[in-house]
Amino acid sequence: MSAPLTPAAAGDSPKQTLPCPCPIADAVDGEGEVHLLHAADPALATLEAASSAPGLGGGHMTSSWWWRTRSLNAPSPFQQFGPCGRIMKNSAMVMQIQDPASQRLTWYKPPLTVLVIKKVSDASVLAPFVQLVDWLLQEKNMVVWVESAVLEDAHLNEDVKFKAIREKLVTFKDGRDDLTDRIDFIVCLGGDGTLLYASQLFQQSVPPVMAFHLGSLGFLTPFRFDNFEEQLTSVLEGHAALTLRSRLRCVMHRKGDKRQEAKVEANADARPAANSILVLNEVVIDRGPSPYLSNIDLFLDGKYITSVQGDGLIVSTPTGSTAYAAAAGASMIHPSVPAIMVTPICPHSLSFRPIVVPAGVELKVSVSPESRNTSWVSFDGRNRQELFHGDSLRVTTSIYPVPCICAQDQISDWFASLADGLHWNVRKRQKCLDELSDLTASGSEDTLDEMENMKLYDI
């Protein structure tokens, strides 16, 4: 039995220990993801693996149990219940997970390369972009990467200041160049779409992201550009809190394709499957151009749950709970909560409410055999493709989150985004009694007299 939560040593962040009842051979897949437990910070997670695990009845745990107890950063409860009860002892794997509230950015060495992301052909961001890039090059002596399409902007090339620094920039092309292990730090200029684009560029480990609000909504961009020099200097010195925004790993399985993702050894250099996509907001399954209802079967950890009849289904992260899911009637969930949201789109059942399931489970979505039409799938609004009869989509939480740098902290940033972006709980304040005291005092005697007269007339 793993130890219960214990206070951390002085100067250390509190940690949580979670048991993992599964052999290591069944715990790692083609993406290098630990199926049983997903660490909030993989760099801080440690695994202690045994050759086998005791199963029910004293045997060995079978691979059918691989999804049990998986979690992103859930705490381990005290495992002794009363004088006789306890959780079955199992020492197959132990993973230590840092308390999400204490997640802070640490540089092992000074960052040298920075990727600056801006929306292509967005004139409103040109001046801040040039100012930022020039400062990073001249003041911080950093290697600055930008997308090659950005440099093709005619208005940007007319800027005299930019012409002097253009040749110092390193460029890449989306879809052709691999940025893995090349970037130390990411700066986004614009709206939430820039952060989604950064997530899409890195399908494994993502560098820390600092997002400046220069767009229209700004749920994911907490920083203001007014004093960017001071804020960036503070972050580069390691003074920043992090919000680890979980992502969903989506894998398409086509009918007739019997190939399975290869299992890898624990110490192998794992790579993501070729047909897997990581999404930060949501994966949407809808009826596409068809006039008929979607008829989608939903499975959770291999068990049939329900059929979705309506316009479609949204499977989202807590980060995506304030996006399409919120518009479809789902609750808003803090990004540090280890969960997956399942939200129907215009269901043909008034009792079909959105649900929240643990982060570690695997969801399987397929077109029902009796469905009149196929379905369509999109991943963070991109890579739209058709889901035919016999195909399936498997969705689970990835071990690769997006580490977003906080302007203040996890709580303050999130509630500020709700207030600014959605005007959450904004209403006129009820007047206090002091403001009504004059009215009440002046009219109290008249009101009593009127009541007495009414009684007389009633008699």
**pTM score, two decimals?**
0.75
End-to-end C-alpha distance for the chain, whole angstroms: 80
Would you give per-residue pLDDT tens digits along the chain (459 residues)?
A: 444 433 333 334 433 333 333 333 333 344 433 333 333 333 333 323 333 333 333 344 344 444 434 445 555 667 778 778 877 766 554 445 556 667 889 898 999 999 999 988 788 899 999 999 999 999 999 999 999 998 888 888 888 899 889 999 999 998 888 898 999 999 999 989 999 999 999 999 999 999 999 877 778 999 999 999 999 999 999 899 999 999 999 999 998 876 544 443 333 334 555 678 999 999 999 999 999 999 999 999 999 999 999 999 999 999 999 999 999 999 999 998 989 999 999 999 999 999 999 988 999 999 999 999 999 999 999 999 999 999 999 999 999 999 999 999 999 999 999 998 888 998 888 888 876 665 555 555 555 566 566 555 554
Residues 6+ apart with CB under 8 A from 7: 14
Q: What is the pLDDT of residue 431?
A: 85
For domain 247-264+274-399, the CATH superfamily is Probable inorganic polyphosphate/atp-NAD kinase; domain 2 (2.60.200.30)
Buried b (16+ CB within 10 A) or exposed e, 358-384: bbbbbbbbbbbeebebbbbbbbbeeee
Phi/psi for 454 (5° steps) reads -65, -40
> How far apart (Å, rounded) are the C-alpha atoms in residues 437 and 433?
6
For domain 113-241, the CATH superfamily is Probable inorganic polyphosphate/atp-NAD kinase; domain 1 (3.40.50.10330)
Phi/psi for 377 (5° steps) reads -125, 140
According to CATH, where is 2.60.200.30 located in the chain?
A: 247-264+274-399
Q: What is the pLDDT of residues 357-382, one digit of tens each?
A: 998 899 999 999 999 999 999 999 99
Q: What is the pLDDT of residue 443?
A: 55
> How far apart (Å, rounded) are the C-alpha atoms in residues 35 and 399?
9
Q: What is the pLDDT of residue 175?
A: 80
According to CATH, where is 3.40.50.10330 located in the chain?
A: 113-241
Q: What is the mean pLDDT of the chain?
A: 78
C-alpha separations of 450 from 32, 265, 444 in Å: 81, 88, 10
Run of H or E residues at 229: helix 228-236
C-alpha separations of 107 from 104, 208, 223 in Å: 10, 10, 20
Q: What is the pLDDT of residues 17-40, one digit of tens each?
A: 333 333 333 333 444 333 333 333
Q: What is the pLDDT of residue 82?
A: 77
Active site residues: 192
